[in-house]
Structures are given as structure tokens and as C-alpha cells.
């Protein structure tokens, strides 16, 4: 049942509100034919590239999933909201078993964005969009119930009202690093292990080749699912009314990919297909990062970009001048504490390691399930690594690194002391310093101190969102307030399953049950307040 608020939103649907679909895949570098890698065929993604704009310089701001998703959903850097450590909530059993003392001073917490920061989908919903997520959230905080109309394995644009514009996310998980684990069912074999390319930082062994081949097999299976989504849009007559955005949540889920601040961990495919065919088959090399996705999506929907967002619009009529740099962070990975910052202009990558006594290849319990890890451990023990393999075998890291992808695409030759690149080093180092200062990098604090002093404002436990208050005016309008600054208020009427966002007082028939919940991101949500609308209002 639609409330008055939704009826008002529907009345404002216009042709300026395009449908938008995000197809997000996991743990995948641009190992695709349209990016010049012809190891396997990916016809559906190739179609998107032919009919859309292919971005060659797109990056995750952090090379691991949950912190990356926190940036995608808020438009803020993970280091600005306290979501940079993997994970903020309850650690995995494997991580605790490996190092139980690692979490001794780290409470169970959530990222806490500044007052007023929302999941960007709330702005879309307030503008009348039907927002669905199928199905991963994993934002380093529990999303308010107002973030999505529907989120789960069955969420789909087909559940919207007739004529309602939609924003739909489809998250394809088959390329996740766990797709190489021995206990996982294999995708159909397509790639020949004997013919796959082996990056120079890996030993060329049967295990390594098999894991790489299996990764390509998973990419082929994923491509089929992309084709299925495009087919559904065509069947519904919506493909030529919908902006389709295809990307990966970070780099390949193999060692020195995922969790690594090199291009192998942050460089992602990004393709945007426009319904009017604009830019079909073209290539865009401007630097783009995940922090830009939320403001860009709002702009595509014709909505203003909140001042709190730290990214910029990179596509559509609202796009600004290309920015010169992408900034990257990597911090605690499960039980292993580390701190690395990096900046790239697309060609050069400058890396600053805050904890040089840590290895580059983290001993993360989850990643140890990848079979090729055994060969990497053996390579480290053998002492026979090639110069290109230093990053995966060294027990320590240099304080600074500098790479030129034009001559060194795999970023294995550290040119930090090369006098020919002294100016580049100085410029990128200064840009990184300015970014750290400008964004208030919380990763410079010990994690426990960051949580208690900055996220919880001196409290010893996670704050609680105040309960909402419901009142009814003399003319029958229902008003809802909450004393917690920055809290979102959601409500449901009767047996309604999805939650509406409270924006302004609304009318409601008498003898209806109203359920209300308030929630500031990073705080515990309030308990539900259940009211029966009568005269006067009485609590059940």
C-alpha cells in the first residue's frame, strides 16, 4: 500500500529519471577480452564495451571488499568514516584462531560517518526511485532499513510500481577468491592451464597455473550471468531506457591481487552503457575511483550531490574536469594490522608503507585456502625467488615505492630512488600528504583509540539511536522526530513489508498500525515503536 508520500513521489516521475542498473562482480581485475586479454571469451561484457564507454583507469579506493563497499554506498573514503579495517564487526573464527590477541583492544564496532551522511540510495528513494539490491550489503555498518526498498536474493526491478524509475544492483559472486578453494564446486573448464598468462611475481608451477585457469573459468561463468541480466532488460523492454554500469569490487582474488595496493589489487573494469548509445565503443582514460560512484549515480538521476560526499561526478552532463589522482588505502586485513597509503595518476603509482616490518603478502587465514599459497610459501623458503618476485617473498617492505606502469605494467621494479622520476615522486608524495590532511585519515590512530575517541566520542560502547517520537496534529497529520542528530527514520503501515523513509508529516487512516524505527549509521538502531493511529494515539 502506498502512503501519501509515495503517491507524491510517483507524481513527479519524469523522463529525466533514467533507470540505472549496477552489475557488480567480485574479486576481478580487467582480465577481459575487451581490455585486451583474450585468454577466454566474454561476449556479453564485450557487448557492453561495444555499446558503451570503457574506462581504462578505474580503481577501488581500497583493495578488499567490505571497506570498498562502504565507499561505494556513502561516497566517502573509508579512512574518513572508520571503515578501512577488514572487518569492523565480529572477526571470523579463522582469524581469531590464528591470532586471538589481535583483537584484544578492538571492540565490536561499525563505521560512523559524519552527521547527516546517508546511504546514497536513500536520496534516490526520496526522489521516487525503487531501489533494490541483490543481494550483498557488507558496508562495515548495518544499513538502515531505509537504504533499500528490497535487499535480498529475490530483489528485482520487476517488483516496482508501473512507471516507477528504478536503481537495481546485481552482485555476481562467482569470481570471488573462494571460487578457487578446493572445497568449492568448479565452474565448467574453459581455460587451458598450460596457456594462461602467469604474472612474473608468481612462480610458474602447476598449482599457480591451475588457480589462474580456474579464475578465468569463473570469469566465463560470470559473463553468462551478465548476459542473463541484459536479456531480462530486453525482455521487459527496458534496455533502451536504462543506464547499465558494470564493474568489479576490487582486483583479482589471488595473492598480490586482493588486499594489495598495487594495480593487481585496485585496478578494476568499468563500463557504462547508455540507453541513447552515446559514446558507444569509446574509451575513457580519466582517473575514476569508487568514491565517485555515489555522486555520479545521483547526478545521472538528476539529483544534487550532497556536500559531504568526497567524490566527484565523472559521467553524464554533470561530469566535472577529470581529477588528477586516485587515492588508495590498505589497513588491517583480518588479524594482521598494517597501514599503507598510495596514489596513482594512472601511469605512476607512489606507495607509502607505514609499517615496514610487515610483509606485503599478508598471512590472512581466509586466503590460505587458495591452493597456490603453498607454492608461494615454498618459494619464500627456497630463497630462489627472481627479482620480480620480491614483493611476495620479502618479510618486510620499503618505506616508499614508485612504479611506472608504462614500462613496468606489473609494478615489480621499485624506482623510488631513480633520479629521472624525482619530480614525479615529489608531486605524488605531496598529493598524498594533502589528501591525508584534507580527509582526516583515521587510520593514523590505533584502531581501538579511533573507535572510542572518534567514532564513539569518548564512550566505551556503541551508541544507541534515540527512539522516535510519533505525534498527530489536529488536522490528522502524523509527524515523527528523533533526537539523535543524523538519524534516518523509517516506518511501515499495517502489514507492509518494506520500509518507507520519513520525509514530512503525512496523513493516515484511523485504526491503522504504524511501526517506526530510527537509525543513525554506525549506532545501534532504536527499538521499534508501534503505534495504533486512533484519536488520540495509543501505544500497543
Closest Cα partner for 119 from 97, 145, 153?
145
Residues 384, 391: Cα–Cα separation, whole Å: 13
Taking the C-alpha atoms of residue 187 and residue 216, their distance in angstroms, rounded to an integer, is 10
Per DSSP, the residues of 439-482 read HT-GGGS-HHHIIIIIISTT-SS--BPPPPEEEE-TTSEEEEE-
How far is the C-alpha of 490 from the C-alpha of 5, rounded, in Å?
A: 12
CB < 8 Å & 24+ apart, contacts of 444-448: 444/339, 446/105, 447/85, 447/105, 447/106, 447/332, 447/337, 448/105, 448/106, 448/107
Tell me the H-state helices in 288-388. 293-300, 373-382
Q: Which of 65, 119, 131, 482 is catalytic?
A: 65
Give the number of C-alpha atoms closer than 13 A to the C-alpha of residue 377, restricted to the C-beta side.
Answer: 11
Who's near 368: CB < 8 A, 6+ residues apart?
Answer: none
Asked whether 261 and 42 are in contact (CB, 8 A), the reply is no
- Tell me how crowded residue 97 is: count the other CB atoms within 10 A of its CB: 11
Radius of gyration of the chain (CA): 24
Burial tier of 408 (Cβ tally within 10 Å: 0-12, 13-18, 19+): middle
Task: Give the integer Cα–Cα distance in Å for 282 and 321.
Answer: 18
Could you tell me how far CA 491 lies from the centroid of its own chain?
27
536: preceding bond cis by omega (within 30 degrees): yes
User: Dihedral sign, CA of 50, 52, 58, 59?
Assistant: negative
Helix (H, G, I), strand (E, B) or coil at 12: coil
Looking up cell 565503443 gives 281
Number of H-type helices and E-type strands within the chain: 13, 21
> CB neighbours (10 Å) of residue 375?
18
Question: What cell does 49 get?
Answer: 564495451
The HSE-up count of residue 210 (CA atoms within 13 Å, CB side) is 13
Closest CA to 258 of 248, 273, 247: 248
Q: CA–CA separation, 353 vs 413, rounded Å?
A: 16
CB 280 within 8 A of CB 52: yes
Q: Is 131 a catalytic residue?
A: no
Pairing verdict, β 488-493 and 469-472:
unpaired
The residues annotated as belonging to the active site are 65
Amino acid at each position: 500500500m502506498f502512503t501519501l508520500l509515495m503517491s507524491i513521489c510517483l507524481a513527479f516521475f519524469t523522463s529525466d529519471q533514467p533507470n540505472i542498473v549496477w552489475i557488480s562482480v567480485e574479486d576481478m581485475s580487467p582480465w577481459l577480452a575487451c581490455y585486451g586479454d583474450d585468454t577466454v571469451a566474454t561476449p556479453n561484457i564485450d557487448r557492453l564495451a561495444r555499446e558503451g564507454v570503457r574506462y581504462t583507469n578505474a580503481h577501488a579506493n581500497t583493495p578488499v571488499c567490505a571497506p570498498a563497499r562502504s565507499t561505494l554506498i556513502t561516497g566517502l573514503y573509508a579512512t574518513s568514516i572508520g571503515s578501512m579495517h577488514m572487518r569492523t564487526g565480529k572477526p571470523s573464527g579463522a582469524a581469531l584462531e590464528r591470532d586471538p590477541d589481535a583483537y584484544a583492544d578492538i571492540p565490536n564496532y561499525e563505521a560512523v560517518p559524519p552527521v547527516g551522511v546517508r546511504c546514497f540510495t536513500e536520496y534516490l528513494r526520496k526522489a521516487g526511485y525503487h531501489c533494490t539490491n541483490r543481494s550483498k550489503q557488507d558496508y562495515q555498518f548495518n544499513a538502515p532499513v531505509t537504504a533499500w526498498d528490497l535487499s535480498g536474493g529475490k530483489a528485482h526491478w520487476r517488483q516496482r510500481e508501473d512507471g516507477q524509475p528504478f536503481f537495481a544492483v546485481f552482485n555476481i559472486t562467482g569470481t570471488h577468491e573462494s571460487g578457487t578453494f578446493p572445497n568449492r564446486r568448479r565452474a565448467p573448464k574453459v581455460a587451458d592451464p598450460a596457456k594462461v598468462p602467469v604474472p612474473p611475481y608468481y612462480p610458474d608451477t602447476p598449482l599457480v597455473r591451475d588457480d589462474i585457469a580456474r579464475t578465468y573459468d569463473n570469469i566465463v561463468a560470470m559473463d553468462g550471468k551478465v548476459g542473463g541480466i541484459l536479456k531480462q532488460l530486453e525482455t521487459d523492454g527496458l534496455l533502451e531506457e536504462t543506464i547499465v554500469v558494470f564493474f568489479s569490487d576490487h582486483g583479482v582474488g589471488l595473492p598480490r591481487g586482493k588486499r594489495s595496493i598495487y594495480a593487481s589489487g585496485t585496478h578494476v573494469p568499468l563500463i557504462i552503457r547508455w540507453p541513447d548509445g552515446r559514446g558507444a565503443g569509446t574509451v575513457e582514460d580519466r582517473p575514476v575511483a569508487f568514491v565517485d560512484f555515489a555522486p555520479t549515480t545521483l547526478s545521472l538521476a538528476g539529483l544534487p550531490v550532497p556536500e559531504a560526499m568526497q567524490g566527484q561526478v565523472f559521467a553524464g552532463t554533470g561530469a566535472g574536469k577529470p581529477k588528477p589522482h586516485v587515492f588508495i588505502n590498505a589497513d588491517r586485513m583480518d588479524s594482521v594490522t598494517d597501514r599503507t597509503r598510495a596514489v596513482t595518476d594512472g601511469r605512476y603509482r607512489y606507495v607509502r608503507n607505514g609499517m615496514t616490518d610487515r610483509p606485503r603478502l599478508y598471512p590472512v587465514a581466509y586466503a590460505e585456502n587458495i591452493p597456490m599459497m603453498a607454492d608461494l610459501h615454498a618459494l619464500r623458503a627456497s630463497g630462489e625467488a627472481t627479482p620480480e618476485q620480491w614483493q611476495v617473498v620479502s618479510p618486510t617492505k620499503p618505506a616508499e615505492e614508485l612504479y611506472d606502469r608504462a614500462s613496468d605494467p606489473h609494478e615489480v621494479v621499485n624506482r623510488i630512488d631513480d633520479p629521472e622520476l624525482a619530480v614525479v615522486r615529489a608531486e605524488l608524495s605531496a598529493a598524498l600528504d594533502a589528501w591525508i590532511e584534507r580527509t582526516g585519515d583515521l587510520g593514523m590512530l590505533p584502531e581501538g583509540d579511533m573507535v572510542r575517541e572518534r567514532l564513539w566520542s569518548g564512550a566505551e560502547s556503541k551508541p544507541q539511536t534515540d527512539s522516535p517520537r510519533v505525534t498527530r496534529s489536529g488536522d490528522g497529520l502524523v509527524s515523527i522526530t528523533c533526537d539523535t542528530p543524523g538519524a534516518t527514520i523509517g516506518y511501515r503501515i499495517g502489514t507492509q513489508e518494506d520500509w518507507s523513509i520519513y520525509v514530512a508529516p503525512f496523513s493516515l487512516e484511523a485504526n491503522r498500525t504504524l511501526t517506526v524505527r530510527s537509525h543513525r549509521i554506525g549506532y545501534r538502531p532504536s527499538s521499534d515503536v508501534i503505534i495504533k493511529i486512533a484519536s488520540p494515539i495509543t501505544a500497543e
